[in-house]
Structure 1
Amino acid sequence: MTVEGQSHGAVGMNMNSARMAFDKVYREDRLDVSARGGRGLTLVREIALLHHGQVGLESEIVKGTKVMLSLPSAA
């Protein structure tokens, strides 16, 4: 099963920020970033790993961010 989520109206992330987006305490340090953010992507990654799945992220400044979560089918 694969689930994708796309941000709408978000600013997106640069490559360095996208690489660190799943880190527990990472928060992008930009003036135009809203108060949102925190541990959400860390939790998504932990859930994926616990269920032998994968998680990925694509992001571009101005265009936004897409997160993909893929979990194996139940036997």
Structure 2
Amino acid sequence: MKRKDTEELHLFKGLMAKDDLRCFVEPESICEAMDKVDSNHTVFACLDENEARKECASQGRPVCGNCVKNLYANY
């Protein structure tokens, strides 16, 4: 999601609804620096981790570095 005030992109964990193909996202970004209400635009949604990594790479610098770091973290 794109932050209103900075245009920086942040990543949110999402869950696809099986019945109607809607994506539900958590209220806070994975870096915990942005709330969903601070966004006015979704750039991409409900991708798996590998697809999200590729999309972040194609978007470049506007993507929050801490969110990207979390994509590569071992849990």
Instruction: Identify the TM-score tier after normalising by the shorter chain.
Output: under 0.3
Highest Rg: 1 or 2?
Answer: 1
TM-score norm. by structure 2 comes to 0.27
Greater relative CO, 1 or 2 (CA 8 Å, sep 6+): 1
